[in-house]
Amino acid sequence: MKNENKIKLSAGDLAPDFIVLSDEEQHVTLKQFLGKTIILYFYPKDDTPGCTTEACEFSAHYEKLYKKNIVVLGVSKDSTQSHRAFKKKFNLPFLLLSDFDGKICQSYGAWGTKTNYGKAYEGLIRSTFVIDSKGIIQQAWYNVKAKGHVEKVLKTLWKNTGNDLD
């Protein structure tokens, strides 16, 4: 699956809608969360060191995000079964979405060429999007480092909303 379009979304763009299965085996669309702020983050693989760090950092802030009407959605190409196991192992309180065919990854520009130990290959690019209550992207990050990224997201949310998340 090559990302020939080299899509990169940015602030002001309409967030692409999707329909996909969650870890709970329910169909989920972006539209069902309109009216709330959405943190949509893409990660390469369940239960790997960086992905676990990122998921657990989102989980640590989940309650205060939830109280501010902010939804967290994690997306990878892993199966719903893999998502359930990952979610249970780390007690993750938010939905994990199974983009098994990579269509969501492509529509958000989260699929493309990556380099690891000097080798180039196609893969999921760790990316995060803050989407406002009307479905407009407020912030997009690509090629993020897992550790500490959630703090950057929280600072952006605070700046955009004008109030602290504590």
Of residues 102, 162, 133, the one with CA closest to residue 36: 133
- Catalytic annotation present for 51: yes
Considering the candidates 15, 51, 70, 154, report the single residue annotated as catalytic: 51
Sign, CA torsion 30/125/49/150: negative
Check if the beta carbon of residue 149 is closer than 8 Å to that of residue 20.
no
Contacts of 162 (CB under 8 A, 6+ apart): none
Phi, psi of 126 (to 5 degrees): -60, 120
Run of H or E including 42: strand 37-42
Q: Would you tell me how many other CB atoms lie within 10 Å of the CB of residue 159?
A: 10
User: Which residue matches tokens 């995000």?
Assistant: 65
For residue 32 the two structure tokens come to 């069902």
**What distance, in Å, lies between the first and last C-alpha atoms of the chain?**
41
Residues carrying an active site annotation: 51
